[in-house]
A and B are shown apart, each in its own frame.
Chain A
Amino acid sequence: MDGNSLNNNYDQKTRTLIQGMVEAEEKAIASRKKQATPEEECECRDGMFPNGKNPPIASRRQFLAATASGAAALAVGSAASAAIPAGSIDYPVQDDPSKVQGRLTNDDGGYGSRSQFETESRWRFPTATKESSWTMTPLDSGNGIVTPSALHFERHHGGIPNINPDKHELIVHGMVNGARKYTMEDLKRFPSVSRFHFIECSGNGLTEWREPTLKTVQGTHGLTSTTEWTGVPLSTILREVGVQEGAAWILAEGADAAVMTRSVPIDKAWDDAMLVYAQNGEAIRPEQGYPLRLLLPGFEGNTHIKWLRRLEISDKPFMTREETSKYTDLLDSGKARQFSLMMEAKSVITFPSGEMKLPKPGFYEISGLAWTGEGRIKRVEVSVDGGVSWQLAELQTPILPKCHTRFRFPWRWDGQPTILQSRCQDETGYVQPTIKQLVEARGLGGGKYGSIYHLNGIQSWAVAADGGVSNVHQY
């Protein structure tokens, strides 16, 4: 917009406003450019934060902005600062916010944080090492279908690498006409797509095969999350490199300390696989594979290789450790199912769920999530009498393929003990089974937690006379 049209079409107030925005944007651009150069390093960095670690640039800016404006000293929530929840800032709380001005606009450094009164967080499953471990999404407090990026479940096999995107490359080679390498800039030039998809770890619910073990829905079902992912269809890249006759598998490899690898059937790559660089509208989080992740909608989570650095096209699967010794399903016969990649239809009531307490009899809106790797959820049924009778739940739109679908069901609790369940059907006609049916089909594999992977059975929540909700098995 040049100066003339600005003058001709707007009043003075609007012109001032627009001019201010233009200047603010220019400043932001200049600051971004400056930040890209190493000379910006400041000596005051050490000692500024109580945990002694180098803070990310964003939180350092937050601190500087707060100090410069004379606001009360702010602490950015982190594992080291137990006083306030992770991801929040300890702002002063007004007794009557209608009688004093609120905090200053954009004083947070230009990147928002959640309220210091919100405490939901991921928690870590206590594995032997913190490098190879996982965290669970708090589904019990979730709303709608999207998982906030900061609450997306995690599964790491060698810690979380911190990768400079300017130095990251993807190499595509093997049975191709021309092997190529792509920088992040290269990949972002391709036509892009944005899609909502869930990712679920095949180990979701692994503690629940034999008996009810964990107490909350975060524990029993928290290894699934839904995100709006943006990136390049993998098929676009395959066309670019030219796949040769006989190609059947693709090895995907990460740049983490596990150099995580999985073989993927090439049909999936041609179908709906994506190379994603954005999550819910911004760059994907480091825990989710920054700067580049393979997305295989509907397939088990560990195949969605994070920190993706290499794709090798081949005629055969590579038989990596993860697809032989680890993510395979041992049956009672001693044989193990391999490449069981599909996440089958599953649902769970998230409200009310384990460890909650209904204050008194009366109306409650039962709510939960349903999803399937086979496409769309067709219907969800809810039972409020331990599976004796089933009624249709209302499905909240949008109902998207390979994505969490929110369901709701109006319920009047009469104060008597009962059991709540949900079961879903996907568009192939498949109906979510009971845990008992799954055990009958697969056995318990003899392990501590039985078959371990791919438990998609019906979840049961018992409501006691005092309103307490607990995890039970009910067939």
Chain B
Amino acid sequence: MFTNIKISAFLSTLLLSLTLGAFPVISSAASGYGGPYNFGTPASAADIALIDIDAMPDGRGLPSGSGNYQTGKSVYTANCMGCHGVDLAGVKGTGAAALIGGRGSLASGKPIKTVESYWPYASTVFDYVKRAMPFYAPGSLSDDEVYAVVAYVLGEANIFDKSAILNAKSLPMIDMPNKDGFISDPRPDVFNYE
């Protein structure tokens, strides 16, 4: 849209310049700011696919593949349990967060923020595990393994059916317990204006 305006502006300048003679064209081309500069090169679909790993709440970006609770349990045991623990509560001293529990605790004065209690979208779990977990081998899980381990964690959290298949179709359908827990920023919220 913007480019089109730029192009049409450029064309009309060019036409005007042609009617006035060649000099204005040369001078405007030889100095001054204004794009397009056309630096860089087109990014191909293959270029983008290599690093375009994000997944959105509506399911955009989710890859093909699938997993379930059972396979996820072995993925978890092999890759996650060392830090997140057998009980998914996080092993002290590792920095790993608790993944389940805390549901209903957010307004209690002693909130426990976990995937189960706080995270509003299942897509965020998939996205984060795929991009940044396991902590010391980020990006090492296959898409199937990511689906599986997410199915395991959400199964343990009693959010996703332990016998169901998690894939690009079923994941965006999941309602996380805290999906309505977020509000937009109302600041400034203290008014000492003078």
Q: Which residues of A approach B to under 8 Å, CB–CB?
A: 127-129, 131-132, 157-158, 171-173, 177-183, 186-187, 189-191, 236, 238-240, 242-245, 251, 253, 257-259, 261, 309-310, 312, 314, 316, 318-321, 324-325, 328, 330, 332-342, 344, 425, 429-433, 437-438, 441-442, 445-447, 454
Is A321 a contact of B124 with CB atoms below 8 Å? Answer: yes
B53 neighbours in A (Cβ, 8 Å): 259
Residues of A within 8 Å of B6, CB to CB, are: 239
Q: 4 new A-B pairs (CB below 8 Å) besides A240-B38, A259-B139?
A: A127-B95, A173-B48, A319-B121, A335-B106
| A189→B1 contact, CB < 8 A | no
Question: What is the CA–CA distance of A341 and B190 in the complex, to the nearest angstrom?
Answer: 16
Q: Are A319 and B111 in contact (CB under 8 A)?
A: no
In the bound assembly, the distance between CA atoms of A450 and B54 in angstroms comes to 31
In contact, B43 and A189 (Cβ under 8 angstroms): no
Q: How far is the CB of A157 from chain B (nearest CB, A)?
A: 8
Give the docked Cα–Cα distance between A454 and B190 (Å).
Answer: 13
B2 within 8 A of A: yes
Question: Chain B's nearest CB lies how many Å from the CB of A455?
Answer: 12
A243/B190 contact (C-beta < 8 A), A171-B43, A179-B43, A324-B124 known: no
- Cα(A431)–Cα(B194), bound, Å: 8
> Who on chain B is nearest to A336 by CB?
B182
- Residues of B bordering A, CB below 8 Å: 1-3, 6, 33, 35-43, 47-48, 51-54, 56-58, 93-95, 106-111, 113, 115, 118-121, 123-124, 127-128, 131-132, 135, 138-139, 181-190, 192-194
- Given contacts A172-B43, A319-B57, A429-B194, whether A244 and B48 have CB atoms under 8 Å apart is no
**A319–B87 CA distance with the chains assembled, in angstroms:** 27
- Verify B2–A242 contact, CB threshold 8 A: yes
**Could you name 20 residue pairs across A and B whose Cβ atoms are closer than 8 Å?**
A171-B51, A178-B42, A179-B47, A180-B43, A182-B40, A236-B35, A239-B2, A240-B40, A242-B2, A251-B54, A259-B131, A261-B131, A310-B51, A319-B124, A325-B124, A328-B182, A333-B107, A334-B107, A340-B187, A438-B190
Known contacts A127-B95, A334-B181; A441 and B113 CB within 8 A of each other: no
CA distance A370 to B186 in the complex (A): 23
- Please give the distance in Å from B108's CB to the nearest CB on chain A: 7
A337:B43 contact, CB within 8 angstroms:
no
B173 CB → nearest A CB, Å:
16
- A residues in contact with B36, CB < 8 Å: 239-240
